[in-house]
Amino acid sequence: MWDQRYSSKDYIYGTQANDFLVANVALLPRSKVLCLADGEGRNSVYLASLGYDVTAVDNSLVGLEKAQKLAAIKGVTINTVHADLATYDLGTQQWDGIVSIFCHLPPNIRLDLHKKIYPALTVGGVLLLEAYTPKQLEFKTGGPPTAALTMQSKQLIGELSPLHLDLNHEIVRDIHEGKGHHGKGAVVQVIGTV
């Protein structure tokens, strides 16, 4: 499905980094960062442009090829890993930052992935997460087709434990990220620290 979606020569979600990431990037320690489900690479390329050692993981080879093309255009280097997040090993104390931007997965896979985040972060490590909430289905401006694939702040408290959640709120904001996300969006935003 994602290979087909990314097969267009256009970047479906644009080439600019996510606004929430840009607004909070200074919170990420300047070292190794993992971008989950980074698709065509807009967020990982942005981080690499700031000097981060970035690894983008996604299950779409087409998306990752476009990520590498974008990195080359911007004159930066990113590491890409083709993997299914249902089985991907995040490692232990391996990442200084983890970025999860619109990484929408079936609930059982999401729960397993979220439980791996705390152990995968180094001491002082930071998680930046933005995802659509069930309210997004009313806006029809992008995001998953069903509420089961969305996230809510109250469920993330348990899923991301024992991370300390410095921010965990739901808001409605304007999102303009290519054709894929365009218009009002209902999102949950999380900043978690070890």
Strand 181-193 to 121-132 pairing: antiparallel
pTM (predicted TM-score): 0.96
Indicate if the pLDDT at residue 3 is higher than 80. no
Indicate if the pLDDT at residue 4 is higher than 90. no
List 133's β-bridge partners, or say none.
none
> Which of the four pLDDT bands, split at 50, 70 and 90, describes residue 90?
very high
pLDDT cut 90: percent of the chain above it = 89
Cβ neighbours, 10 Å, residue 88? 17
**For residues 173-188, average pLDDT:** 92
Residue 180: its pLDDT value, please? 84
151-183 in b/e form (b: 16+ CB < 10 A) is: bebeebeebbeebebeebebeeeebebbebbee
- The model's pLDDT over 14-68, given as tens digits with 9 standing for 90+, comes to 899 999 999 999 999 989 999 999 999 999 999 999 999 999 999 999 999 999 9
CATH of the domain at 123: 3.40.50.150
Tally of domains in the chain: 1
Residue 136 lies in domain: 2-193
Indicate if the pLDDT at residue 5 is higher than 90. no
Q: SS3 letters for 82-135?
A: ECCCCCCCCCCCCEEEEEEECCCCCHHHHHHHHHHHHHHEEEEEEEEEEEECCC
